Amino acid sequence: MKTIGNLELFNLESIEPLILQPFRETLKAGGYQAFPSAALDFPDGEIDFLKLLVKDPDTTFPGRISGDSLKDIGILSEDWCLIQKGIEARPNDLVAAIIQDEFFIKRYKPRYKEDNSLKELKLQSANVEYSDFDINDETEFFLWGVVTWTFRNWRKL
Whether 31 is covered by a domain: the verdict is no
Whether 48 is covered by a domain: the verdict is no
d(CA 153, CA 157): 9
Mean per-residue pLDDT for 115-125? 92
Whether 98 is covered by a domain: the verdict is yes
CATH number at residue 72: 2.10.109.10
d(CA 144, CA 104): 10
Mean per-residue pLDDT for 89-102? 93
Residue range(s) defining the domain that contains residue 132: 2-12+56-151
Among 31, 14, 126, CA closest to 72: 126
What is the count of structural domains for the chain? Answer: 1
Whether 96 is covered by a domain: the verdict is yes
Contacts of 141 (CB under 8 A, 6+ apart): 97, 98, 99, 133, 135
Whether 157 is covered by a domain: the verdict is no
Mean per-residue pLDDT for 124-129? 96
Confidence of residue 91 (pLDDT cuts 50, 70, 90): very high
Question: CB–CB of 98/142 below 8 Å?
Answer: yes
Whether 19 is covered by a domain: the verdict is no
Residue range 128-141, pLDDT digits in tens: 999 999 998 888 99
Whether 83 is covered by a domain: the verdict is yes
Q: Is residue 32 scored above 70 in pLDDT?
A: no
Whether 29 is covered by a domain: the verdict is no
